[in-house]
Amino acid sequence: MTAPTIGSLRVMLRALKLPGFATHFEDLSARATREGWTFLAFVHELAALELQDRGRRRIERNLRASRLPSTKTLATLDLERLPSAVRTRIATLCNGDFLREGTNVLAFGLPGRGKTHTLAAIGHELIQRGRRVLFTPTYQLVQRLLAAKRDLLLEVELRRLDRFDAVILDDIGYVQQDRAEMEVLFTFLAERYERRSVMISSNLVFSQWDRIFKDAMTTAAAIDRVIHHSVILEMTGPSFRAEVAEKNLEPVR
């Protein structure tokens, strides 16, 4: 039997896809020797560190894949500026329980009321809890689905999107679709209905969604699927951006 070396052991651990073991085993072995650990205690601690490292790496991968705005987190969200009912809802939504039943989250309000920041902040918290989230402007998702449909790969693309526990559709009210665009967006919403959550920000209330889906029947069907299992956040109050702009325009005294 060839005498084992630290180098050969590290190579084998990486080949076995145990990078946590490879990173920690040397220091942990020295500690175990000093403190008189049993072999079982040593392996147990090493396995715990491997799991901890894997969880951290999974969160990092999910965060990169999410495309969430890096600055729009719960830490940077001014909760005091939000309506009290919204603040209460945020605390509950961040634990991710709503994802189990495919419940949707809908944030309505005029521009500058914090809709995007609020949904993105919830998305960041969901990722820290091991969930998969995708953040996308609605027009980008529509173009992605149209390209897939053109290439006869719409079902494949919908399956890819289905891997995400929540898809955040930002600014759905700014999308003025033609019929082809409307159809792929409706297909996406229908496919996720009661299975996977969508989180939507909109400056248009439901009575104005005919601007998006064009005809009354499709509009009613889309609203029905979105609202059936949903939490609605009504983002009222003054515009965040307008107040910042006003402060920047104040004369220097």
Which stretch of DSSP H or E encloses residue 107?
Answer: strand 104-108
Residue of higher predicted confidence among 212 and 90: 90
Task: Band the pLDDT of 151: cuts 50, 70, 90.
Answer: very high
Is 248 part of any domain?
Answer: no
pLDDT of 4: 65
Which residue, of 39, 65, 91, is where some domain finishes? 65
Q: What is the CA radius of gyration of the chain?
A: 24
Q: State the DSSP string of 220-237.
A: HHHHHHHHTTEEEEE--S
Query: Are 159 and 207 in the same domain?
Result: yes
CB 192 within 8 A of CB 162: yes
Average pLDDT, the chain: 89
Mean pLDDT of 92-118: 95
Query: Are 61 and 74 in the same domain?
Result: no
Is 249 part of any domain?
Answer: no
Is 205 part of any domain?
Answer: yes
pLDDT of 176: 63
Task: Band the pLDDT of 252: cuts 50, 70, 90.
Answer: very low
Write b or e for each residue in 136-147: b if 16 or more Cβ atoms lie within 10 A of its Cβ, otherwise e: bbbbebbebbbe
Terminal alpha carbon distance of the chain: 82
Residue of higher predicted confidence among 135 and 14: 135
Residue of higher predicted confidence among 107 and 51: 107
75/63 Cα distance (integer angstroms): 16
Domain containing residue 27: 6-65
- Say if residue 173's pLDDT is above 70: yes
Query: Are 25 and 106 in the same domain?
Result: no
pLDDT of 75: 96
Percent of the chain scoring above 70 in pLDDT: 91
Q: State the DSSP string of 4-72.
A: P-HHHHHHHHHHTT-HHHHHHHHHHHHHHHHHT--HHHHHHHHHHHHHHHHHHHHHHHHHHHHT--TT-
Mean pLDDT of 235-244: 69
pTM confidence score? 0.83
Mean pLDDT of 226-237: 92
Task: Band the pLDDT of 253: cuts 50, 70, 90.
Answer: very low
Mean pLDDT of 66-86: 95
Domain count, the chain: 2
Is 22 part of any domain?
Answer: yes
- Say if residue 228's pLDDT is above 50: yes
Percent of the chain scoring above 90 in pLDDT: 62
- Say if residue 2's pLDDT is above 60: no
Which residue, of 65, 93, 111, is where some domain finishes? 65
Is 121 part of any domain?
Answer: yes
Query: Are 148 and 40 in the same domain?
Result: no
Pairing of strands 166-170, 104-108: unpaired
pLDDT in tens, 124-133: 999 999 999 9
Is 175 part of any domain?
Answer: yes
233/99 Cα distance (integer angstroms): 16
